């Protein structure tokens, strides 16, 4: 019987099955690795976006001469995420006046209304799986080194209200200084600065946004993970 040379032989069914099995195993391992990296990438991207948004609000205040307020709504439920940020240029200087419309305590992040000389500069929804948290921020008893010591970092949001929607706000004035609000009226007293934490499932640690009062400087710290 005539036999084909070795160079002309094709794959047998067994060899094909083994090859396909190997490819599927490698694809599964690659997908598993990507799945683990995806929450970390989302958290990193959201943290960078938030820093840019808050820093941009400060620059807008310096350029416009108006107060610019970054409002945080940790419990706002979007189509695929929880947590909305609204940047508001307060040309009316009335956002924290309870008699004004709109005002911070009653502000609806879903409609993003603004006064006659004011404007909504930007809105930002946290990406899926990224949330403002955890409740203890960088951890119970955690503290920042000098010169940031004295700024609370052991909360998910050091300036947010204790009400159900947990809203809070950072206001930058025309000199770039920051003050912090949990409701209408006067800013929170004795605040050297404010912090807000972002976290994601399957990612150890969290990212902490830090804003100082006197200078309005904006920074980010990776607290583990």
Q: What is the pLDDT of residues 46-70, one digit of tens each?
A: 999 999 999 999 999 999 999 999 9
Q: Which residues contact 115 (CB under 8 A, 6 or more apart)?
A: 90, 91, 92, 94, 95, 100, 101, 102
Angle at 87 between CA 159 and CA 176, to 5 degrees: 70
Q: How many Å apart are CA 60 and CA 68, to the nearest integer?
A: 7
Q: For residue 215, say if its preceding peptide bond is cis, omega within 30 degrees of 0.
A: no
Greatest pairwise CA separation for the chain in angstroms: 101
Q: pLDDT above 70 covers what percent of the chain?
A: 85
- Sign, Cα dihedral of 101, 106, 111, 117: positive
Could you tell me the strand order of the sheet in which 82-90 lies?
A: 119-125, 82-90, 67-77, 168-172, 178-181
> Ramachandran region of residue 202, left (φ > 0), alpha (ψ -120 to 50) or beta?
left
pLDDT value for 8: 53
Q: pLDDT digit string (tens) for 147-176?
A: 898 999 999 999 999 988 999 999 999 999
Taking CA atoms, 48 is separated from 51, 130, 140, 207, in Å, by 5, 13, 25, 10
> Is 31 a residue whose pLDDT tops 50?
no
pLDDT value for 224: 64
CATH homologous superfamily, domain 38-223 = minor pseudopilin epsh domain (3.55.40.10)
- Confidence band for 2, pLDDT divided at 50, 70 and 90: low
> Is 12 a residue whose pLDDT tops 90?
no
Q: pLDDT digit string (tens) for 112-149?
A: 999 999 999 999 999 988 999 999 998 888 999 998 98
* Start-to-end C-alpha separation, the chain: 66
Closest CA to 85 of 115, 61, 114, 120: 120
Neighbours of 225 (CB within 10 A): 15
Phi and psi dihedrals of 140, rounded to 5?
Answer: -60, 130
Q: What is the arithmetic mean of pLDDT over 210-219?
A: 96
């Amino acid at each position: 019987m005539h036999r084909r040379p070795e160079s002309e032989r094709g794959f047998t069914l067994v060899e094909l099955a083994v090859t396909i099995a190997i490819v599927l195993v490698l694809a599964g391992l690659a997908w598993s690795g990507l799945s683990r990296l995806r929450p970390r990438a989302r958290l990193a991207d959201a943290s960078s976006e938030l820093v840019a948004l808050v820093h941009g609000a400060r620059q807008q205040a310096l350029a416009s001469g108006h107060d610019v307020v970054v409002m945080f709504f940790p419990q706002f439920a979007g189509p695929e995420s929880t947590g909305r940020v609204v940047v508001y240029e307060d040309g009316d200087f009335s956002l924290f006046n309870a008699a004004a419309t709109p005002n911070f305590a009653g502000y609806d992040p879903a409609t993003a209304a603004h006064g006659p000389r004011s404007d909504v500069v930007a809105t930002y929804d946290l990406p899926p799986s990224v949330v403002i948290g955890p409740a203890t921020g960088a951890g119970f008893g955690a503290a920042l080194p000098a010169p940031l010591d004295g700024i609370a970092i052991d909360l998910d949001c050091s300036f947010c209200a204790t009400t159900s929607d947990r809203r809070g706000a950072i206001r930058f004035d025309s000199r770039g200084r920051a003050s912090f609000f949990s409701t209408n009226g006067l800013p929170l007293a004795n605040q050297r600065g404010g912090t807000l934490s972002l976290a994601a499932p399957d990612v150890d640690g969290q990212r902490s946004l830090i804003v100082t009062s006197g200078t309005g400087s904006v920074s980010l710290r990776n607290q583990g993970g």
